[in-house]
Structure 1
Amino acid sequence: MNREYSDFQSLFNEKLRERGLTVKRLSELSNIATEHLENLSTGNFERMPPAPYIRGYLARLAPILGFDADSWWEELAREHTLRGSGASDELPKNRFARQSRAKFLIGGAVVILAAAYVALRFAYIFGEPEILITDPAQNPAYTRSAETVIRGNLSNADVLSVNGESVEVREGGGWEKAVTLQSGPNSFEIEAKKFLGREKRLTRQIFYEPIPQTTTTPLAPAN
């Protein structure tokens, strides 16, 4: 051990200054709580965790600050009364491994569930919207009424519009849209969209032919 430093806190604080580190930044680099680092800085070992944890902290700090962890651990063990955590004065080897394994298992389960959900909903998520026009059934259609209703069924889509006007879709997919016709051909664009961007369009033409109005010629009076 380098005897340039009389105690560990002197070494600790000097190494921080040399590297331009703050306790907060060192906490981020070492994943050690700032409270424990501050206790190391002041030599307040009475408020530190049991000895195995202190030894583990030294092992994490050594490559960052540049000191011999084993030598300084032996020095601390001689000079300070450190609390033990059990019969063996070693950091439990499997504690972090168990945590990592648990995180891995949880992450794997989440991935599997997400994959299963996507597989079950693949057609809905990635499939194309489906529009079925039930009335009028023919295309083009012909009518003598100026008012008519376009009806149909929608599946695998989130929104529906007719000529740019939003149409409410009932539970089960049924929908209808009342329209007013002009004499002659009338074109209607039915568009279905999904939130993920897929869309589908259908065009229907309805020809409106008004009923001819007949005129009655008055009869000439009899002579």
Structure 2
Amino acid sequence: MQVAEALKDMVVTEGWQPGDRLPGEAELMERFGMAKGTIREAMRLLEAQGLVKSRTGPGGGSFVHEVSRERAKALLGNYFYFKSLTIDDIYRLRRALEPELAADLAGRLTAETLARLEANIAEYDHPADSPEEEREQHVASLRFHAILAEQSDNPLLGFIMDFMVNLLSDLTVYRALYAPPNRELWEKGRDYQLRLIEALKEGDARAARAIMRAHMDTAWRLMRGQEAQMQKRFIRG
């Protein structure tokens, strides 16, 4: 573990970038004064973490590798797997962060991104006709927020928002929080998103913040109701 951390420090201090080749095994053994087995174990650990990628054959070796957002979300999601997260846990953070993200993006989104947001809303332009469609619409409505998170120029804020959307989407599906259908949740959520797009287009940060906060407050209240109904169904079952 200590050698793996020293290798990560070496990558940072020497300014290596994704795709750069790491020194060979013999050079690492000499640099760190460690046996071959210790170096190999450290490299295996870094590869499991996604920070190193090995290739065989001509031009092969070990290379610095950038962890993708999807892999990072999956690894972090494993940590929360047994944490029994609730709607309250997630929405307390969403209410604090999403209004500020919306305000920050006002007037800064490209025509392409605005079109993506509008196309996303079009996926749930009518009330669901079945539990399956209700589930799909819930997931699609959360994707709207993932699109916004992608646009943040703050990589930490963007990742946290994207991760929370991913958690909530999984929670909604695994716990069937989309059932029974909730017309108010669909109607108000869609209305807030349509109004938010207009504020973002106009560059009105104050309105974008207020709309997103109201959106989060309403969704929090209604999703807590969905969660309570799910718990009642579980107890009766």
User: Is the radius of gyration larger for structure 1 or structure 2?
Assistant: 1
Q: TM-score range by the shorter chain?
A: under 0.3
Select the structure that is richer in strand: 1
TM-score with structure 1 setting the length:
0.21
Which structure exhibits the higher relative contact order, with contacts defined as CA atoms closer than 8 Å and separated by 6 or more residues?
Answer: 2
